[in-house]
């Protein structure tokens, strides 16, 4: 299924996985709205790279957790690029790392509301435009930690598991309207978010991965493009982890 001529909004696309997704979509002929929160220069650099390669893109600042800003961003994208047919919910919602018994409720609540609010309000802002186009496709970037948790990640695991649940619910509700909804669940992927992990731990993770390396942002982007092109797939979660865990 060709994606060319479509319009995509990628949240948190100034860096890491979101930036790779934006560039991969542009390479398929999709006009891309590159959402950022704090990294304006990085977002503009993504747009410049896309334009230099002959693609169409614009950078838009918005807090992906904020309903009003999401609604405004969706209208701005429609005005500049046309109705959105592809939504990639990628923005990274921060969280404290701590054991469950010491976990601050405020941090837990903020992570859940941020992650699920970004998906709820993002979809509510964009789905009307998809209906205008008579179809669309939504991809949520979840995490392998939703099903394969580790110490300190209780808020992240719960939030990403909730996101997967929302993906399945929306796939059922929106499918009859021509809108597919899927999740991509990366394993350890080398981005700014994982830059603090020591090299020896990254190597250990690679050694325990059947494909014997850590993931790159481009690996996730390739999976997103593949799912967007797979016209009869909805409600699915695609792990992108080199086989490090299987579900």
The residues that touch ligand NAP, with contacts defined as CB under 6 A, are: 11-18, 35-39, 63-65, 90-92, 141, 143, 186, 188-189, 191-194
> Could you tell me the smallest distance in angstroms from the CB atom of residue 205 to ligand NAP?
10
> Could you tell me the smallest distance in angstroms from the CB atom of residue 93 to ligand NAP?
6
> Could you tell me the smallest distance in angstroms from the CB atom of residue 49 to ligand NAP?
14
Distance of CA 179 to the CA centre of its chain: 17
Beta carbon nearer to ligand NAP, 131 or 206: 206
Q: What's the rounded Cα separation, in Å, for the pair 19 and 143?
A: 17
Exposed/middle/buried for 72, CB within 10 Å: 0-12, 13-18, 19+? middle
DSSP 94: P
> Could you tell me the smallest distance in angstroms from the CB atom of residue 213 to ligand NAP?
13
Beta carbon nearer to ligand NAP, 6 or 189: 189
Distances (CA, A) of 112 to 12, 49, 93, 148: 17, 34, 9, 18
Non-local CB neighbours of 48 within 8 Å, separated by 6+ positions:
none
**Residue sitting closest to ligand NAP (CB):** 16
> Could you tell me the smallest distance in angstroms from the CB atom of residue 220 to ligand NAP?
7
Beta carbon nearer to ligand NAP, 63 or 132: 63
Q: Cβ(125)–Cβ(71) under 8 Å?
A: yes
DSSP 92: P
Angle at 46 between CA 45 and CA 50, to 5 degrees: 115
Beta carbon nearer to ligand NAP, 4 or 188: 188
Beta carbon nearer to ligand NAP, 176 or 210: 210
């Amino acid at each position: 299924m060709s994606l060319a001529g479509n319009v995509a909004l990628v949240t948190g696309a100034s860096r890491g996985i979101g930036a790779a997704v934006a560039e991969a979509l542009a390479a398929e002929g999709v006009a891309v709205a590159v959402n950022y929160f704090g990294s304006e220069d990085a977002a503009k650099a993504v747009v410049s790279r896309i334009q230099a390669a002959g693609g169409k893109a614009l950078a838009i600042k918005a807090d992906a957790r904020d309903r009003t800003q999401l609604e405004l961003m969706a209208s701005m994208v429609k005005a500049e690029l046309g109705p959105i047919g592809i939504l990639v919910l990628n923005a990274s919602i921060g969280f404290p790392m701590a054991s469950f018994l010491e976990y601050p409720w405020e941090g837990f609540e903020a992570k859940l509301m941020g992650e699920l609010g970004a998906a709820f309000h993002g979809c509510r802002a964009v789905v009307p435009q998809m209906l205008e186009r008579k179809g669309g496709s939504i991809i949520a970037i979840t995490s392998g930690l939703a099903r394969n948790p580790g110490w300190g990640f209780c808020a992240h695991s719960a939030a990403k598991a909730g996101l997967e649940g929302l993906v399945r619910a929306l796939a059922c509700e929106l499918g009859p309207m021509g809108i597919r909804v899927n999740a991509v669940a990366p394993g350890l992927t080398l981005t700014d978010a994982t830059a603090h992990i020591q090299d020896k731990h990254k190597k250990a993770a690679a050694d325990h991965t059947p494909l014997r390396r850590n993931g790159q942002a481009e690996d996730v982007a390739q999976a997103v493009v593949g799912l967007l092109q797979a016209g009869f797939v909805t409600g699915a979660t695609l792990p992108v982890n080199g086989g490090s865990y299987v579900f």
